[in-house]
Structure 1
Amino acid sequence: MKILIVEDEAELRTVMQSFLEKEQYMIETAIDYASGLAKLANYHYDCILLDVMLPGGTGMQLLGALRRLGKDDSVIIISAKDAVEDKVQGLELGADDYLAKPFHLAELLARIKTVIRRKNQQIAQAICFKNVRLFPEDRKLLVGEQEVALNRKEYDLLYYFLIRPEKLIPKTTLAEAVWGDDADQADSLDFIYSQIKNLRKKLKENSAAIDFQAVYGVGYKLV
């Protein structure tokens, strides 16, 4: 699961990032309106933690821009002001929740889990394709009735393909979606081939009716 923190207060941003990474979330950050807008426009996130007051603009403006882009990423507004009008404005713009500063990290985690669970339930209890079922809330994969163990990246990769079956996904898009900012530091995208090879082996060993089709020089599709 990938989370974006848009927060200009360095200490709070670092504390949230460290805490959520320990909870096994992949975290990206933005420190102002411009960098936040660039992230929102180019990437998908399971949850966005959005501060209201930012250099160069506001979190409300970013939320409005996100919805105008047609994206339905879950958003939790974080604000130093616990004003009713701010809550109403955020919810009217499409925020999923509102959290006033200061807050306990345990409460933040609970809010994140709730909005992600709610979104997954709206999509489906399970993502199904042929004889494969993926349960996002439990991070569980079933092939037929057999549970298949996946590591974190294998799960994230398969999830990304299963919600886009038979669609060609460029390797650069996969790297950005599953590996985030870490992908920019790689000399090549060979690590994608390695992960897909391992995932394909597990699927084949368990008689999955799905497979990855490589399109030379472009990327992969789930068929």
Structure 2
Amino acid sequence: MKLLLVEDEPDLLASVVSYLQAQQYVCEVATTYAQAQEKMLLYSYECIVLDLTLPGGDGLDLLRELQRQQRGAGVIITSARAGVDDRITGLELGADDYLPKPFYLPELSARIAALVRRRHYQGTNLLVVGALSVDVPARRASVAGQALTLTRTEFDLLLLLLANQGRVITKGAIAEHLSGDAAEQFDSFEHVYAHVKNLKRKLTEAGAANYIRMVYGLGYRFNVSE
């Protein structure tokens, strides 16, 4: 899962990135208003962790921009501002949660997981699609009770497809989701093809139907009915 962390305190940002990467998240960062604005409008994220006091602008204005652009990312505000008005305004502008500073890293991680679960997985930890079962927080998947041995990247790819069932996910979106900023350095999508191929093979070898279909010239779609 890919996150955007908008935070201008270097020590706090380093701690958050280190902790969340250990929780298997792909983390991108922005330390100024301008950087955050550019990333929010150009890229897709499962969750944005947003500080309100930033060099160059106010995080609430970024929320307004997200609302105007109808971006689908969940937002957790983290701020040292103690005023209730800021909390209310942030929630009214579309933020999903508000975590005052200072906060515990495990609590931030738990709130991110809960937000993603609500937005993408119908509020449940266990996804069951046909013969496929996926325990999201435990990062385990099985087909008809048979455990799948997936790499971190394959599991993240599976979650992306499950969160977008029936919709075409472009190769570029998959590369960005799996690799974050590093995706811009790739000259081709060979790594995407390889990960999709390996995931499809492991699913079908375990007895699952061919859920993942290529949409020629565009990308891939996960559809149980097919």
Class of the TM-score when normalised by the shorter of the 2 chains: 0.7 to 0.9
Preserved contact between residue 120 and residue 163 of structure 2 (Cα < 8 Å) = no
Preserved contact between residue 118 and residue 124 of structure 2 (Cα < 8 Å) = no
State the shift of 1:205 in Å. 0.6
Please tell me the residue identity of whatever aligns with 1:21. Answer: Q
CA distance 1:177–1:81, change in 2 (3 Å): same
State the shift of 1:38 in Å. 2.3
State the secondary structure of the residue aligned to 1:16. helix
Q: Equivalences for 1:200-219 in 2 at 5 Å? A: 200-219=200-219
Please tell me the residue identity of whatever aligns with 1:49. Answer: V
Please tell me the residue identity of whatever aligns with 2:15. Answer: V
Preserved contact between residue 47 and residue 75 of structure 1 (Cα < 8 Å) = yes
State the secondary structure of the residue aligned to 2:122. helix
Preserved contact between residue 74 and residue 95 of structure 2 (Cα < 8 Å) = yes
Deviates more, 1:125-134 or 1:183-192: 125-134
Match of 2:111 in 1: 111
Q: Equivalences for 1:76-115 in 2 at 5 Å? A: 76-115=76-115
**Long gaps (5+) in structure 2:** none
Preserved contact between residue 127 and residue 163 of structure 1 (Cα < 8 Å) = no
**Long gaps (5+) in structure 1:** none
Match of 2:178 in 1: 178
Match of 2:138 in 1: 138
State the secondary structure of the residue aligned to 1:63. helix
State the secondary structure of the residue aligned to 1:5. strand
1:122 aligns with 2:119: no
State the shift of 1:153 in Å. 0.8
The whole-number CA distance in structure 1 between the counterparts of 2:163 and 2:104 is: 33
Preserved contact between residue 130 and residue 210 of structure 1 (Cα < 8 Å) = no
| CA deviation vs aligned residue, 1:97-122 (integer Å, no higher than 9, x gap) | 22222333333333333433444563
Provide TM-score, normalisation by structure 1.
0.86
Q: Equivalences for 1:13-28 in 2 at 5 Å? A: 13-28=13-28
The whole-number CA distance in structure 2 between the counterparts of 1:168 and 1:116 is: 20
Aligned length: 223
Preserved contact between residue 64 and residue 93 of structure 1 (Cα < 8 Å) = yes
Match of 2:63 in 1: 63
The whole-number CA distance in structure 2 between the counterparts of 1:168 and 1:61 is: 31
State the shift of 1:176 in Å. 1.0
CA RMSD of aligned residues (A): 2.4
